[in-house]
């Protein structure tokens, strides 16, 4: 098994929105993440909050999010990059034109 980081890119996440369309979308995310967990693939994952900091060598500034941004992440285990791609294709934001960045994690020391 290999470990992969998936970064979900799309419209800004609204995990606490109350309108029916967004609530349905958030429920589909819950189901998707639940499926990953039930398959034993999910190590961790969550949507990102709408704020943050941009930290540089000489400054710390508020993070300004664009309309399209990285809305959340998942760390998964899969047999291969191709298997991780198949899991990523089922993420709900793909239907809305979103994308997923998948990066293999490199094991560090033991």
Residue 15's pLDDT band (boundaries 50, 70, 90)?
low
What is the spatial distance between Cα 21 and Cα 3, in angstroms, rounded to a whole number? 33
Tally of domains within the chain: 1
Sequence-ordered strand ranges (E) for 33-91: 42-47, 53-55, 60-62, 68-78
CA-CA distances (angstroms) from residue 62 to 15, 31, 50?
A: 21, 32, 11
B/e letters for 29-42, b = 16+ CB within 10 Å, e = fewer, are beebbeebeeeebb
Query: What's the confidence (pLDDT) of residue 13?
Result: 63
Q: What is the mean pLDDT of residues 40-53?
A: 92
The answer to whether residue 89 is domain-embedded is: yes
pLDDT for position 25:
86
Q: How far apart are CA 3 and CA 62, in angstroms?
A: 31
In-domain check, residue 68: yes
pLDDT at site 110? 63
Q: What is the mean pLDDT of residues 43-54?
A: 90
Residue 110 domain-assigned? no
**Residue 74, in any domain of the structure:** yes
Range of the domain at 54: 2-104
Output the domain CATH number for residue 25: 3.30.70.1060
pLDDT single digits (tens) 51-109:
899 999 999 999 888 777 898 999 999 999 999 999 999 999 998 899 999 999 998 88
Assess if residue 55 is contained within a domain: yes
* Most confidently modeled range among 22-36, 40-54, 70-84: 70-84
């Amino acid at each position: 098994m290999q470990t992969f980081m998936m970064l979900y890119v799309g419209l800004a996440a609204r995990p606490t929105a109350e309108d029916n369309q967004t609530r349905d979308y958030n429920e589909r995310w819950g189901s998707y993440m639940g499926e990953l967990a039930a398959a034993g693939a999910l190590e961790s994952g969550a949507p990102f909050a709408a704020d943050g900091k941009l930290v540089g060598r000489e400054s710390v500034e508020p993070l300004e999010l664009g309309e399209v941004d990285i809305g959340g992440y998942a760390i998964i285990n899969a047999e291969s990059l191709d298997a991780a791609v198949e899991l990523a294709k089922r993420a709900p934001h793909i239907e809305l034109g979103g994308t997923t960045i998948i990066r293999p994690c490199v094991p560090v020391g033991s």
